[in-house]
A and B are shown apart, each in its own frame.
Chain A
């Protein structure tokens, strides 16, 4: 392991992110904040949704924001760099194992997802207030979950970015991302699906469910949620699975 090379690659990603800061900011936060505004302010304010919905919505929005920031940050550059610009070749030729180039991408994606998660909380709170009741009971559980969610998003980005062809990006959004959001227990708690028993079981294959429910369990435990242990276990499994698949796909792309 060559830490200097690894550090330089991280520095490169940080440099590029800084250069595109405004674009990244809008891309990351505009959609969740608009969503929070319409559902949390307009719909609640006009009486279509109960006031508690504000607190119920917030964890889901954080989960969506983190997961898609991480996926986007890792997958989109990889799709372009492997298939079109081939920019990544410079780093593949750096004196380090090619697997570490992928790990670096994952770490960079995780950092972006964490920043997105930590920034969207106060932003959404500002839009929603008053009436949001956040109760962080166990900061350690919250830290563990937010870290596992960030890892899941970046590893998911790695696996998708090394699997999807450039011409299938639209399909990826339509077939993977959109169903993931709607069946991800982001806008409703998992327990709300109890009138749809089959669906309630089927959505458990969606990792976003554990991200949303984990956020709910640690930020707004007053609502029904999956147990923290189940969430942690499932997220660890998804993280490992996606990392292994992502690394294998990455090496296939990097070395022919």
Chain B
């Protein structure tokens, strides 16, 4: 079994991030200056250790540095500084050896349009030096598993997004890599295919393989990952099992409130309520309350607000979730 490690990775793009890194990172000033050299920091001291045989998730909003991290670990993005290892091999000292150990499913399908589905798998295996008999057997088995047997001799140009995604994953598994990287694997998949994909990832993991996936889907991270790193602005802001992470949110419940008018002493008075762990002003009229209970707090909040002369205009209650965790750490929603 093979683990993955990064130490203090930094990456600054001097132009917009290329396709290999997902093609997106926030522009610091939002405009393209004539002074072409726009410096876009994508990774800012990212250190991680993914244990051998673990399903590990990188969770974060768009532009957080997830795809760049995957790019560095898969030999496609050279870090500005820092180191990365797959197993015992330094990714940037021994890239060809590392490539033998990894399988990569990119965010956007990059299938070979000049080939049929089956040929894509066969040639991929040939690049890895797998003999022709074994290639045929594996290709047939994977096509079957991903329900692509019927289309196996068709050119992939006409495939739907979901079929391309399934074929990309089959291709990444073709050389039986020790570490599987999946960048946003279920983006754009229908629920049925997503469940099929999750099953296949779990099965692959049970065979002793390490899986690293990036996602901004809470449900997926929660359902699939043994450990998670929450990434924002190019570094890890929280790390642990989904359960541990959720338990780290004060109280667990999040009540997002909005008032018509917000008297100054309201925060203090709300903090005094039983079960309330933390109160934060979200903007001029909003307030986030982390608490041990959810709905049962509402009548008390409403009457307290009324007594202070503030009118409660909107309430949103969410149960303990990774979304809340992200919000707690960054003050922003994952979807922002």
Q: List A contacts of B106 (CB < 8 A).
A: 86, 89
* Identity of the chain A residue whose Cβ is nearest the Cβ of B109 in the assembled complex: A86
> In whole angstroms, what is the CA distance A12 to B106 when docked?
21
Determine if B110 and A256 form an interchain contact, defined as CB atoms under 8 angstroms apart.
Answer: no
A94 at interface by CB-CB < 8 Å: yes
A20: chain B residues at CB < 8 Å are 114
B19 within 8 Å of A by Cβ? yes
A90 to B175, CA, bound (A): 12
Q: Is A166 an interface residue (CB 8 A)?
A: no
Q: Which residues of B contact A96 (CB under 8 A)?
A: 96, 99, 127
Find out whether the CB atom of A86 lies under 8 angstroms from the CB atom of B129: no
Contact with B along A11-22 (1 / 0, CB 8 A): 110011001100
Q: Which residues of A contact B19 (CB under 8 A)?
A: 86
Q: Is the CB of A86 within 8 A of B76?
A: no
Of A11, A85, A87, which contacts B126 at CB under 8 A? Answer: A11
User: What residues of chain A lie closer than 8 Å to B123, measured between beta carbons?
Assistant: 8, 11-12, 15
| Cα separation A98 to B71 with both chains bound (whole Å) | 15
Answer yes or no: B100 CB below 8 A from chain A CBs: yes
Closest partner residue, chain B, to A1 (CB atom): B96
Give the nearest-CB partner of B112 in chain A: A87
Q: B42: nearest residue on chain A (CB-CB)?
A: A256
Q: In residues 148-176 of chain A, which contact B (Cβ within 8 Å)?
A: none
Q: Which of chain A's residues has its CB closest to B128's CB?
A: A95
CB distance A256 to B71 under 8 Å? yes
Residues of A with C-beta under 8 A to B77: 255-256
Chain A residues within an 8 Å CB radius of B193? none
| Bound CA span A96–B114, Å | 22
Q: Name the interface residues of A109-123: CB closer than 8 Å to any CB of B.
A: none
Contacts of B21 in A (CB 8 A): 256
Query: Is the CB–CB distance between B110 and A86 below 8 Å?
Result: yes
Partner of A97 from B95, B104, B128 at Cβ < 8 Å: B95
Contact with A along B69-84 (1 / 0, CB 8 A): 0010011111000000
How far apart sit A201 and B96, CA to CA, in the bound complex (Å)? 46
Instruction: Tell me the count of chain A residues lying within 8 A, CB to CB, of chain B.
Output: 28
Q: Does A248 contact B (CB under 8 A)?
A: no
For B233-275 the 0/1 string (1 means CB < 8 A from A) is: 0000000000000000000000000000000000000000000
A92: B residues at CB distance < 8 A: 75-76
A89 to B102, CA, bound (A): 14
Residues 60 to 100 of chain B near chain A (Cβ within 8 Å): 71, 74-78, 95-97, 99-100
Q: Is B108 an interface residue (CB 8 A)?
A: yes
Residues on B with beta carbons closer than 8 Å to the beta carbon of A86 = 19, 106, 108, 110
A97-B96, A256-B17, A256-B71 known; A87 and B78 CB under 8 Å?
no
B96 touches A93 (CB 8 A): no
- In the complex, A194 has a CB within 8 A of chain B: no
> How far is it, in angstroms, between the C-alpha of A95 and the C-alpha of B18 when the chains are bound?
22
Choose among B100, B114, B124, B128 the residue with the greatest number of A CB atoms under 10 Å from its CB: B114
Distance from B178 Cβ to chain A, minimum over Cβ atoms (Å): 13
In the bound complex, CA of A85 to CA of B106 (Å)? 12
Given A256-B17, A256-B18, A256-B78: A16 and B99 within 8 A (CB)?
no
CB within 8 A of A16: which of B78, B108, B114, B124?
B114
| Inter-chain contacts of A15 with B (CB < 8 A) | 115, 119, 123
CB distance from B283 to the nearest CB of A (A): 37
Identify 16 residue pairs between A and B in the complex whose beta-carbon atoms are under 8 Å apart, listed by A's number: A2-B129, A4-B126, A5-B128, A11-B126, A12-B123, A87-B110, A90-B110, A92-B76, A93-B76, A93-B99, A98-B75, A98-B95, A256-B17, A256-B21, A256-B77, A256-B78
A-contacting residues of B (Cβ < 8 Å)? 13, 17-21, 71, 74-78, 95-97, 99-100, 102, 104, 106, 108, 110-115, 119-120, 123-124, 126-129, 171
Known: A16-B115, A86-B110, A90-B112. 11 other contacts (CB 8 A): A2-B129, A8-B123, A15-B115, A87-B113, A90-B127, A93-B74, A93-B99, A94-B128, A95-B96, A256-B18, A256-B71
